Structure 1
Amino acid sequence: MSKAFTRESDAADDDDPQLPSLPTGGKNYITPQGYARLRAELLDLIDNERPKVVDIVHWAASNGDRSENGDYLYGKKRLREIDRRIRFLTKRLEIAEVTDPSVHHGSDQVFFGATVTYVDQAGVERTITILGIDEADSLQGQVSWIAPIARALLKSREGDVVKLVTPLGAEEVEVLAVRYPAPAAS
């Protein structure tokens, strides 16, 4: 029998993506804004995206032969992707520990949610914001709180020199400034 006529297993598509690992005994810290973004995405998938795709698949299935029906095949694939993302978001939101960084506003010590400006031994100045695993975006200067630079900076204060271990060896960085978002007005 030719390989072209064998049914491929959908098992690989149904595997849950591996969640980024947390430190042993660690928590999944997230800011209120990050939690709100993930929750909004989950609700949009459930309330808007999934019903639209279900309608397309239902319509395509009613057209007869499903084996050569692109709308049906791609719709089913998209439905699996949506369901996988819904499961992922549900699991992440269940274990999320919402932490508001604005409670540290005015502090010069580095905690979760801080925006830290530091300088390395080469004199290069960088600014990063320490956020949760699910909300950090390196293109925006955001790093996960479990990243090596974040772990080195946590609990340090402005003016401290901390040791950062990199694949190229240990390096010292000096904390220049620590900022937190202002508390929301109630």
Structure 2
Amino acid sequence: MKGRNMTRWRDPAKDPRQEPKSNLITAEGAQRLRGILDHLSRVKRPALSTKVGEAAALGDRSENADYTYNKKELNRVIARIRYLTKRLDELQVVDRLPADTRRIFFGAFVTLEDEEGETMQLRIVGHDETDTDKHWISVDAPLSRALLGKGLDDEATVAAPGGETTYLITAIEYRDPQAGS
């Protein structure tokens, strides 16, 4: 049986998507998610409800593309609101610096140097805040796991598809969440 909803079978014990995600988030990340939820609830959902109502008033809904599109979009927004509401209740906001700022913990800005001498800067954040453009990686990522608890000038080895890579930690920085970004 083939269909667009059929996917390849994966062993649940080995599927990385089934691994539990941490429920940590930075104060800035939580504020951003609340802002998105507020925008969806107060602006986007009422506007789409109005569009759906206007399109439904035009008559036959079966051939009304405007009605169909806006109804699907409204359902997506409602699902996103439901997800964000549930997720924000589960999250634990980390709004203080760790006791030992000389070691890498959640929220740290880290500068790494690889074996070829190239540097990379990243930040360890929650699963909901990852951003490849900013080089913010999840606390659940293999690189983050290898870095957690390490100090300045320590080495961290990470298994990568091309083999193991070793990084030297050259800088660790934290920004006070109380002072704002």
Unaligned residue ranges in structure 1 (runs of 5+): 1-11, 13-19
User: C-alpha distance in 2, partners of 1:88/1:21?
Assistant: 17
The amino acid that maps onto 1:133 is H
User: Does structure 1 residue 146 correspond to structure 2 residue 130?
Assistant: no
The normalised TM-score by structure 1 is 0.82
**Which residue is 2:114 aligned to?**
120
Choose from 35, 47, 69 the match for 1:52. 47
**CA drift at 1:182:** 2.7
User: Does structure 1 residue 39 correspond to structure 2 residue 40?
Assistant: no
User: C-alpha distance in 2, partners of 1:184/1:176?
Assistant: 26
Aligned runs of 1:71-150 on 2, under 5 Å? Answer: 71-100=66-95, 102-104=96-98, 107-150=101-144
The amino acid that maps onto 2:87 is R
User: C-alpha distance in 2, partners of 1:136/1:109?
Assistant: 21
| Residues 76-104 of structure 1: per-residue CA shift (max 9 Å, x gap) | 0111110121122122112111112x513
Q: Number of aligned pairs?
A: 166
Q: Aligned residues: percent identity?
A: 39
Contact kept, 8 Å, 1:116 with 1:127, in 2: the verdict is yes
The normalised TM-score by structure 2 is 0.84
| Residues 16-72 of structure 1: per-residue CA shift (max 9 Å, x gap) | xxxx95754x63110011001111111111111101110111111111111121221
Q: Give the CA RMSD over aligned residues.
A: 2.1
The amino acid that maps onto 2:32 is R
**Which residue is 1:67 aligned to?**
62
Give 3-state SS (helix, strand or coil) of 1:163's partner.
strand
The amino acid that maps onto 1:67 is S
Give 3-state SS (helix, strand or coil) of 1:86's partner.
helix
Unaligned residue ranges in structure 2 (runs of 5+): 6-15
**Which residue is 2:11 aligned to?**
none
Alignment CA distance shift 1:183-1:29 (3 Å): closer
